[in-house]
Structure 1
Amino acid sequence: MSATVAARRVAYETIRAVHESDAYANLLLPASIGRAGLSGADAALATELTYGTLRRQGTYDAVIAIAAERGIHEIDPAVLDALRLGVHQLLSTRVASHAAVNESVELARAAGGRGAAGFTNAVLRRVSRDTPGDWMTHVAASARSDDEQLGLLFSHPVWVVRAFRRALAAEGRADELEALLTADNAAPRVTMAALPGLAEAPEDARRTPFSPIGFRLGGGDPEGTVRGSGGRIRVQDEGSQLAALALTRALPVQEGERWLDLCAGPGGKTAVLAAEALRHGAALEANEISPARAGLVRRALEGVPLDVPVSEEDGRTRAADAPRTYDRILVDAPCTGLGALRRRPEARWRKAPSDVPGLTELQRELLDAAVGALKPGGVVAYVTCSPHLAETAGVVAEVRRGWGEALEELPARDVITALSDADPGLPAQADGSGRAQLWPHRHNTDAMSVSLLRRV
């Protein structure tokens, strides 16, 4: 088997695992590449084929339905994944058409025999006869509404398209919807963080515009830089860096403060908090309900010479058991993850509108418990990797109503702007809050939402 064929098989098997076993591509793919012995261009090919196919799955399914003259639910799932991979190569890569068709046919043959191979060959040859532009015209014409058309063309579920539009409209920027959807389908650039007080960016690195600890390397695999730093330099989205720093730098730190990271897994923000606590003479505790993720938190903290106890409890219980204890608390709440679709493209197909009410109830309970665990004058940062207004503005508004005058909002937008070398352009929200909303298409970050609340 040639390396290029092996790269396609790795991509196919990863996509199958995502759909069949709810695997996470970002966790499975690197291990699969290693097992297959892929490196250089072939590893890059496997990565592009996997993520590209998952990102554009909604569009490709519409193309397949038209070319096959049947609904995708009538196609065997293993054969459908071979078709998706083939369509991606035909419409979005420079892979030769005959190679894209032939290799996909062989994948289908292995999954379903001669009949599946013949069907796959016929569908992909039909797709190859029209240009990518022609197919976008066909797909657009198949939509039943304007929102469905956007969803098909930009490969997002319709409910996500509508949620994004509402979130942008809250800033008076509803006209940026297509730019946001486009950004979600682009591979994110690798961003690094040098833990403050413990590491510096390499001399040849380029500083990021908003986070004072962020940088990007000129190229190559960042793993060597991470290993060489002893964990003090790490891969971390700039929005994640800003969310942690917004808490530590919202107000001057007094020596001896007690901090808590309530929902700490997988530990990237915890590491930033730990480095900041070490610099200022504060104490940090972390909590994560999942034992596996708690293990990741401990691993993330290995590069910071600070004793950070990590508990494994429900965050609501953890906070309720410590009333008026902490000066600063980070609530990086479980959410839909709609702000990180660039990195986890399969997430858009796994979430549904019915998931939101349960998540917002959990988010409200976590934030409410965290406020109760604050000392008077203490600050909580409520963070979600989602711009959905129900998970952001709605949760904060409900908790503020419950606490009344005992809780005030600090301007997260101003705090993040003060951290930044460039103006991040964080406009006022329609609800008049100080919430900061970052965006992939504007800031080249995940769509991170940050609110700062102080107990009076």
Structure 2
Amino acid sequence: MSTRQQRPAKPYRRPRRDPVRILAYEALRAVDERDAYANLVLPPMLKKARDKGELDERDAALATELVYGTLRRQGSYDAVIAECVDRPLREVDPPVLDVLSLGAHQLLGTRIPPHAAVSATVELARAVLGDGRAKFVNAVLRRISARGYGEWLDRVAPPLDEDPEEHLAVHHAHPRWIVSAFWDALTAAGTGEATVEQVAEALEADNERPAVTLVARPGRATREELLNGTATAGSWSPYAAHLDEGGEPGALDAVREGRAGVQDEGSQLVALALANAPVDGDDRAWLDVCAGPGGKAALLGALAAERGAGLVAAEKQPHRAGLVARSLAGNPGPYTVVTADGTRPPWQPGSFDRVLVDVPCSGLGALRRRPEARWRRRPEDLQGFAPLQRSLLHEALRAVRPGGVVAYVTCSPHLAETRLVVDDVLERLPGGLAAERLDARPLLPGVPDLGEGPDVQLWPHLHGTDAMYLALLRRTA
């Protein structure tokens, strides 16, 4: 037996449980493993933790920032992490990469002191990954902490003058194909080639936390009721109110009772534009073709009721049709909710005076709210949406009578989902069916920076709304 004195074993130390970071980690795993959306999985997780007394409001705010901040800048953080590991990122286990991303965000995107960010993330790694991988996390985070965020971006991104799109992609945390799509859309809406500064502003706006916007449904609630110490008036819609930071929509009587709801101001504006567009002759029958989950249908139903018109709200998916019915419950005027496919409609052609067709799309206009979508979507996804978008618009034009108006709406600025769809459908209309574009800009009074028209593209950086697109078409024959 050796006479050398043996070093006493280190006593086992149970990792400190950090409910904030564990919850944030579990939310990121749900997004990664189940293709879940953070805005759907995080709120119930936070509520459960608060109900159990594990989190207070300050903790919940930190967990929210960790989840959304990590997801928004995931691409930039991946580029930094790739510089600090000794293997390709695809060879790093996804749970380990999620912990590293959380740590990178704390180091590079928050005011948490570096030593605290590293220590807390290593403790998280020890709790969810084990001691061995916690050492790896510690080593990588210490390399990351050696530079600030700006220094890292300058290191991992190509120079602006060599590759502008890739430079913007890394600096503003978007896939390159989305940078290119935004550049094209901004150019199409203006009088010349969009500048690097304009594209950068559009991209960076997706990295800002959006305000929670409410809508007071006409005839059921007033905006003044929502402004009673709880919210501030919206910028453009007469029914919009921005909830104060930290405010809960469910705390308002009008929201609980369905007289008001949560709805982005851009969504309100496109519905209002359709409601105010000039039509020839009668104005009694309105149609919402893709009505789920019901926000626009509830606003349209209330506006129709003020004029003595009725609304038909159609939704293909039965469970979403149920959400539409819930949103419309209590509407002061006549309405009908039907489960129907807008590409094979049950109604007769020419049955309606106004038609809203808010088509399924990539959702690139709502990346502020669903930051993970920018990394999940692929350019080829748009090819899958294209036939459906064209078919829905074609059938919407058949559904409206001559002199009536169709609003083609999508929550995307991508030209392949906006102007090109409308151009293609109008060029291919069969004999006996004709339509003309209307200038939508005068129907959004007071809203600036609406471009050359006649269609309207809203932007987060210009209007504070989701990037909603609107084309108004009047059937002429």
Is 1:403 the equivalent of 2:429? yes
- Aligned residue in 2 for 1:448: 468
Query: Is contact 2:21–2:124 with CA below 8 Å preserved after alignment?
Result: no
Partner of 2:181: 163
Contact 2:355 2:406 in 1 (8 A): yes
Match of 1:45 in 2: 62
Aligned to 1:145: 163
Q: 1:30 Cα deviation (Å)?
A: 0.5
| Aligned residues of 1:255 and 1:280 also touching (Cα < 8 A) | no
How do residues 195-344 of structure 1 correspond to structure 2 at under 5 angstroms? Answer: 195-201=217-223, 202=225, 203-204=227-228, 205-219=231-245, 220-225=247-252, 227=254, 230-251=257-278, 257-318=284-345, 321-344=347-370
Structure 2 counterpart of 1:452, which letter?
A: L
Which residues in structure 2 correspond to 1:18-33 (within 5 Å)? Answer: 18-33=31-46
The more displaced of 378-387 and 219-228 is 219-228
SS at match of 1:454: strand
User: Which position in structure 2 is the counterpart of 1:135?
Assistant: 152
Conserved in 1, the CA contact under 8 Å of 2:216 and 2:260? yes
The CA deviation at 1:24 is: 1.1
Paired amino acid for 1:241:
Q
Alpha carbons of structure 1 residues 138 and 345: separation in structure 2 relative to 1, 3 Å: same
Of 79, 97, 103, which aligns to 1:62? Answer: 79
Residue of structure 2 equivalent to 1:370: 396
Q: Secondary structure at the match of 2:130?
A: helix
Q: Which residue of 2 aligns with 1:154?
A: 172
Alpha-carbon distance in 2 for matches of 1:309, 1:265: 13
Question: Does the CA contact (< 8 Å) of 2:291 and 2:321 recur in 1?
Answer: yes
Conserved 8 A contact 2:309-2:333? no
Closer, same or farther: CA 250–2 of 1 in aligned 2, 3 Å? farther
Q: Secondary structure at the match of 2:465?
A: coil
Q: Distance in 2 between matches of 1:208 and 1:424?
A: 14
Q: Give secondary structure in 2 for the equivalent of 1:48.
A: helix
CA RMSD of aligned residues (A): 2.3
User: How far has the Cα of 1:226 moved from its partner?
Assistant: 5.3
State how far apart, in whole Å, the 1-side matches of 2:429 and 2:151 are: 56
Contact 2:457 2:467 in 1 (8 A): yes
| The structure with more helix, counted as a fraction of residues | 1
Per-residue CA deviation, residues 57-79 of structure 1 (Å, 9 max, x unaligned), is 00000010011143211100001
Q: Percent identity, please.
A: 52
Task: Provide the residue aligned with 1:73 in structure 2.
Answer: 90
Could you tell me whether the CA contact under 8 Å between 1:210 and 1:238 is conserved in 2?
A: yes
- CA apart distance, 1:146: 2.9
Distance of aligned partners of 1:253 and 1:343 in 2 relative to their CA distance in 1, 3 Å threshold: farther
Check if 1:435 corresponds to 2:455.
Answer: yes
Task: Return the offset for 1:322.
Answer: 2.3
Aligned CA distance change for structure 1 residues 381 and 299 (closer, same or farther; 3 Å): same
Return the offset for 1:195.
1.0
Runs (5+) with no aligned partner, structure 1? none
2:209 equivalent to 1:187: yes
**Shift in Å at residue 255 of structure 1?**
6.7
Asked which structure has the greater CA Rg, the reply is 2
Distance 1:226 1:121 in 2: 48
Return closer, same or farther for 1:124/1:246 CA change in 2, 3 Å cut-off: same
418, 425, 434: which is aligned to 2:449? Answer: 425
- Taking the aligned partners of 1:206 and 1:108, their CA distance within structure 2 comes to 42
CA contact (8 A) 2:316 2:341 kept: yes
How big is the shift at 1:227? 5.0
Cα offsets for 1:370-424 (capped at 9, x unmatched) = 111111111110000001011110010111112388201111112113xxxx342
Question: Aligned partner of 1:29: which letter?
Answer: L
Corresponding position of 1:11: 24
Match of 1:107 in 2: 124
Deviates more, 1:145-154 or 1:369-378: 145-154
TM-score (norm 2): 0.89
State the Cα deviation string for residues 347-377 of structure 1 (Å, max 9, x = none). Answer: 1111111111221211000000111111111
Shift of 1:252: 6.1
The worse-fitting range, judged by mean Cα deviation, of 113-122 and 388-397 is 113-122
Letter in 1 for 2:129: G
Q: 1:132-169 CA distances to partner (integer Å, 9 max, x unpaired)?
A: 22112222249983322211111101100000000000
**Structure-2 change in CA distance of 1:414 and 1:50 (3 Å):** same
Q: CA deviation at 1:302?
A: 2.4
Q: Point out 4+ residue stretches in structure 1 off by more than 4 angstroms.
A: 1-4, 141-144, 226-229, 252-256
Conservation of the 8 A alpha-carbon contact between 1:254 and 1:280: no
2:306 partner letter: R
Cα distance in 1 between the residues matched to 2:136 and 2:61 = 29
CA distance in 1, matches of 2:17, 2:134: 20
TM superposition shift of 1:296? 1.7
Partner of 1:216: helix, strand, or coil? strand
Alpha-carbon distance in 2 for matches of 1:171, 1:380: 21
- The 2-side partners of 1:279 and 1:209 are apart by 23
